[in-house]
Amino acid sequence: MRALVTLLAALTVYADLGERAVARVSWDDAPCGIVGLEPRPTRVLMIGDSNFYGALGHRLDFGFRARGYDVFLRGKPSSGLARPEFFDWFEEARRLIAQTRPDAIVVMLGANDVQRITWPRLSKKVFFKDEQDWRTAYEARVRTFMRMLAEGGREVFYLSPTNRGWDKARRAVSKVRDIQERVAAGLPRVHWVDMFPFSSDANGAWLHFGVGDDGEKVWYRMPDRIHLTKSGGELIGARVLRYLAQFGV
User: Which residues are registered as beta bridge partners of 158?
Assistant: 107, 192
Looking at residue 215, its pLDDT comes to 84
Task: Give the pLDDT of residue 7.
Answer: 32
Q: Give residue-wise pLDDT tens across range 232-243.
A: 999 999 999 999
Q: Which residues of the chain have pLDDT under 70?
A: 1-41, 120-123
Using CA atoms, how far apart are residues 82 and 172, in angstroms rounded to an integer?
Answer: 14
Pick the CATH number of 2-247 from 3.40.1440.60, 3.40.50.1110, 3.30.200.20, 3.40.50.970: 3.40.50.1110
Is the whole model's pTM more than 0.95, yes or no? Answer: no
What's residue 78's pLDDT?
97
- Domains of the chain by residue range: 2-247
- Write down the pLDDT at residue 40: 55
Pairing relationship of beta strands 217-219 and 209-211 according to DSSP bridges: antiparallel
Q: What is the pLDDT of residue 124?
A: 76
pLDDT in tens, 149-208: 999 999 999 999 999 999 999 999 999 999 999 999 999 999 999 999 999 999 999 999
pLDDT at res. 213: 81
Helix axis angle, 230-244 to 55-66, nearest 10°: 40
Element containing residue 47 per DSSP (H, E):
strand 43-48
Question: Helix H segments across the chain?
Answer: 2-7, 19-22, 50-53, 55-66, 89-100, 131-150, 167-185, 230-244
